[in-house]
Amino acid sequence: MIPTQAYCDPNKPEEAALWAVVGIEETPGVPMIAPEESLRGLSRQLHDAGFRHHPELQTKKAIIVGAPEQEGVSWMGVGEIKWVPIDYEDSPEVLAAAAAEQEELLTDDDLDQASGAQLMAFAQKLQARGVIRAPEAPTAADAGDHAVASSLGGD
């Protein structure tokens, strides 16, 4: 996902302001050089601090010039970040991609009817596409008291 305003969910704290922190107007064309996870954290921090978007007050929006609207494209290397007037007309490609993003491909009913094996296969496909991360291997710190008890001969 390229975090433009059309793609970000205003009801998710980690996305509510994400689109607004991808680039600074005073440094035209330069994205914020920070991992997306950090920018999502900044969005959450602003949300937790009480900042909220007021569409009626918005006069500008960020666009990514030359951004290909394709799945799996990292937004950090796609093009120039530019702040434009709010009435700037997005390209048909951007509008179509944003509309497609809102379409529900699978409903809860679809997922409820799937077998465990189908759900696992679906999860593996999502991991392969980078949509979700594979579970991390547990560490000694994750084991907590159980590791201590095991080392003492108890479970």
Report the distance separating Cα 19 and Cα 73, nearest Å: 16
CA angle 60-46-71, nearest 5°? 65
Q: Which residues pair with 60 in a beta bridge?
A: 85
| Phi, psi at 83, each rounded to 5° | -95, 125
| Residues 14, 46 contacting (CB under 8 angstroms) | no
CA 44 to chain centre: 12
The model's pTM: 0.54
From 30-39, 69-78, 97-106, 115-124, the region with the lowest mean pLDDT: 69-78
Q: Which of 14-28, 51-65, 76-90, 141-155 has the lowest mean pLDDT?
A: 141-155
- Section 91-107 average pLDDT: 73
Give the model's pLDDT for residue 145.
53
Q: What is the mean pLDDT of the chain?
A: 78
The answer to whether residue 148 scores a pLDDT higher than 90 is no
Average pLDDT estimate for 126-147: 69
